Protein backbone atom coordinates (compact mmCIF):
# COMPACT_ATOMS: atom_id res chain seq x y z
CA UNK A 1 0.00 0.00 0.00
CA UNK A 2 1.21 3.53 -0.71
CA UNK A 3 2.28 5.83 2.09
CA UNK A 4 -0.48 7.86 3.75
CA UNK A 5 0.09 11.53 3.22
CA UNK A 6 -3.38 13.08 3.41
CA UNK A 7 -5.07 13.37 6.81
CA UNK A 8 -8.31 15.14 7.79
CA UNK A 9 -6.49 18.44 8.24
CA UNK A 10 -5.45 18.44 4.56
CA UNK A 11 -9.04 18.47 3.27
CA UNK A 12 -9.83 22.16 3.48
CA UNK A 13 -13.02 23.45 1.81
CA UNK A 14 -12.50 24.38 -1.83
CA UNK A 15 -9.45 22.17 -2.32
CA UNK A 16 -9.68 19.82 -5.34
CA UNK A 17 -8.05 16.43 -5.86
CA UNK A 18 -7.86 15.03 -9.41
CA UNK A 19 -9.23 11.62 -10.35
CA UNK A 20 -7.14 9.36 -12.58
CA UNK A 21 -8.34 9.12 -16.22
CA UNK A 22 -10.13 5.98 -17.39
CA UNK A 23 -10.86 4.73 -20.92
CA UNK A 24 -14.09 2.68 -20.93
CA UNK A 25 -14.31 -0.33 -23.26
CA UNK A 26 -17.40 -2.08 -24.65
CA UNK A 27 -16.08 -5.33 -23.14
CA UNK A 28 -16.04 -4.01 -19.59
CA UNK A 29 -19.46 -2.35 -19.98
CA UNK A 30 -20.93 -5.72 -21.01
CA UNK A 31 -18.98 -7.68 -18.35
CA UNK A 32 -20.19 -5.45 -15.50
CA UNK A 33 -23.77 -5.40 -16.81
CA UNK A 34 -23.83 -9.18 -17.23
CA UNK A 35 -22.97 -9.58 -13.55
CA UNK A 36 -24.85 -6.71 -11.92
CA UNK A 37 -27.27 -4.92 -14.25
CA UNK A 38 -28.35 -6.99 -17.27
CA UNK A 39 -30.77 -4.42 -18.69
CA UNK A 40 -30.66 -4.68 -22.51
CA UNK A 41 -29.24 -1.17 -23.10
CA UNK A 42 -26.12 -2.16 -21.12
CA UNK A 43 -25.60 -5.44 -23.03
CA UNK A 44 -25.78 -4.71 -26.77
CA UNK A 45 -25.29 -1.76 -29.11
CA UNK A 46 -28.66 -2.49 -30.75
CA UNK A 47 -30.63 -2.33 -27.51
CA UNK A 48 -28.67 0.75 -26.44
CA UNK A 49 -29.57 2.51 -29.70
CA UNK A 50 -33.23 1.59 -29.21
CA UNK A 51 -33.22 3.05 -25.68
CA UNK A 52 -33.20 6.68 -24.61
CA UNK A 53 -29.45 6.28 -23.90
CA UNK A 54 -28.65 6.20 -27.63
CA UNK A 55 -25.98 3.47 -27.65
CA UNK A 56 -24.27 0.73 -25.62
CA UNK A 57 -24.02 2.50 -22.27
CA UNK A 58 -22.46 1.64 -18.92
CA UNK A 59 -24.78 0.84 -16.05
CA UNK A 60 -24.93 3.82 -13.68
CA UNK A 61 -23.60 1.50 -10.97
CA UNK A 62 -20.67 0.67 -13.25
CA UNK A 63 -19.94 4.36 -13.80
CA UNK A 64 -20.11 4.85 -10.02
CA UNK A 65 -17.72 1.93 -9.47
CA UNK A 66 -15.33 3.23 -12.15
CA UNK A 67 -15.43 6.62 -10.43
CA UNK A 68 -14.50 4.89 -7.14
CA UNK A 69 -11.39 3.39 -8.75
CA UNK A 70 -10.50 6.71 -10.43
CA UNK A 71 -10.76 8.34 -6.99
CA UNK A 72 -8.73 5.61 -5.29
CA UNK A 73 -5.91 5.89 -7.81
CA UNK A 74 -6.17 9.67 -7.91
CA UNK A 75 -5.91 10.47 -4.22
CA UNK A 76 -7.81 8.18 -1.84
CA UNK A 77 -5.03 5.56 -1.70
CA UNK A 78 -2.82 8.19 -0.06
CA UNK A 79 -5.53 9.37 2.37
CA UNK A 80 -6.19 8.09 5.90
CA UNK A 81 -9.68 6.95 4.85
CA UNK A 82 -12.00 4.90 7.08
CA UNK A 83 -14.68 4.57 4.40
CA UNK A 84 -17.98 6.33 3.98
CA UNK A 85 -21.47 6.15 5.49
CA UNK A 86 -23.17 6.70 2.14
CA UNK A 87 -24.02 8.96 -0.78
CA UNK A 88 -25.85 12.25 -0.35
CA UNK A 89 -26.88 12.33 -4.01
CA UNK A 90 -25.61 11.06 -7.32
CA UNK A 91 -26.70 12.16 -10.78
CA UNK A 92 -26.13 10.13 -13.93
CA UNK A 93 -26.15 13.20 -16.17
CA UNK A 94 -25.18 11.69 -19.55
CA UNK A 95 -24.72 8.15 -20.84
CA UNK A 96 -21.19 6.69 -20.59
CA UNK A 97 -20.59 5.08 -23.97
CA UNK A 98 -18.00 2.53 -25.10
CA UNK A 99 -14.81 4.40 -26.03
CA UNK A 100 -15.41 7.31 -23.66
CA UNK A 101 -12.40 8.62 -21.72
CA UNK A 102 -13.40 9.76 -18.24
CA UNK A 103 -11.64 12.25 -15.98
CA UNK A 104 -12.66 14.42 -13.05
CA UNK A 105 -12.04 15.66 -9.56
CA UNK A 106 -13.19 15.56 -5.95
CA UNK A 107 -13.65 18.96 -4.31
CA UNK A 108 -14.00 19.48 -0.56
CA UNK A 109 -17.37 21.06 0.26
CA UNK A 110 -17.08 21.01 4.06
CA UNK A 111 -15.34 19.17 6.85
CA UNK A 112 -15.91 18.62 10.56
CA UNK A 113 -14.51 16.49 13.35
CA UNK A 114 -16.78 13.56 14.29
CA UNK A 115 -18.69 13.99 17.51
CA UNK A 116 -19.06 10.23 18.04
CA UNK A 117 -15.73 8.82 16.83
CA UNK A 118 -12.56 10.23 18.40
CA UNK A 119 -9.76 10.88 15.94
CA UNK A 120 -12.04 10.82 12.89
CA UNK A 121 -13.26 13.67 10.74
CA UNK A 122 -16.04 13.73 8.16
CA UNK A 123 -15.18 15.39 4.86
CA UNK A 124 -17.98 16.02 2.37
CA UNK A 125 -16.85 15.97 -1.26
CA UNK A 126 -18.43 17.03 -4.53
CA UNK A 127 -17.29 14.51 -7.13
CA UNK A 128 -17.50 15.32 -10.85
CA UNK A 129 -16.69 12.95 -13.72
CA UNK A 130 -16.54 14.20 -17.31
CA UNK A 131 -16.16 12.57 -20.72
CA UNK A 132 -13.66 13.53 -23.44
CA UNK A 133 -16.09 16.20 -24.71
CA UNK A 134 -16.08 17.94 -21.33
CA UNK A 135 -19.65 16.85 -20.58
CA UNK A 136 -20.32 15.96 -16.94
CA UNK A 137 -21.50 12.32 -16.90
CA UNK A 138 -21.56 11.73 -13.13
CA UNK A 139 -21.95 14.21 -10.30
CA UNK A 140 -22.51 13.53 -6.64
CA UNK A 141 -21.67 14.30 -3.06
CA UNK A 142 -20.65 11.98 -0.29
CA UNK A 143 -18.97 12.20 3.10
CA UNK A 144 -15.76 10.26 3.70
CA UNK A 145 -14.41 9.46 7.17
CA UNK A 146 -10.76 10.46 7.42
CA UNK A 147 -8.45 10.08 10.40
CA UNK A 148 -6.97 13.18 12.02
CA UNK A 149 -3.22 13.58 11.71
CA UNK A 150 -1.47 11.77 14.60
CA UNK A 151 0.10 14.30 16.94
CA UNK A 152 3.65 13.07 16.27
CA UNK A 153 3.08 13.78 12.60
CA UNK A 154 1.80 17.30 13.17
CA UNK A 155 3.28 19.83 10.76
CA UNK A 156 6.07 21.97 12.26
Rg of the chain over Cα atoms, rounded to whole angstroms, equals 18
Regarding 69 and contact with a second copy (CB under 8 A), the answer is yes
Rounded-to-integer distance, Cα 118 and Cα 151, Å:
13
Rounded-to-integer distance, Cα 6 and Cα 54, Å:
41
The contact pattern for a second copy, residues 74-113, with x = CB under 8 A and - = no contact, is: --xx---xxxxxxxxxxxx---------------------
The contact pattern for a second copy, residues 18-57, with x = CB under 8 A and - = no contact, is: --------------x--xxxxxxx---------xxx----
Rounded-to-integer distance, Cα 63 and Cα 102, Å:
10
Regarding 150 and contact with a second copy (CB under 8 A), the answer is no
Coil, helix or strand for 125?
Answer: strand
What residues make contact with a second copy under the rule CB under 8 A?
A: 1, 32, 35-41, 51-53, 59-62, 64-66, 68-69, 72, 76-77, 81-92, 117, 140, 145
Amino acid sequence: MPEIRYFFEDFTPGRSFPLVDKLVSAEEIVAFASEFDPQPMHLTEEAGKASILGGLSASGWHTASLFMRMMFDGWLKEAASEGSPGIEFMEWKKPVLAGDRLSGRSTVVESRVSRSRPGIGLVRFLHEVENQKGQVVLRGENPIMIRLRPSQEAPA
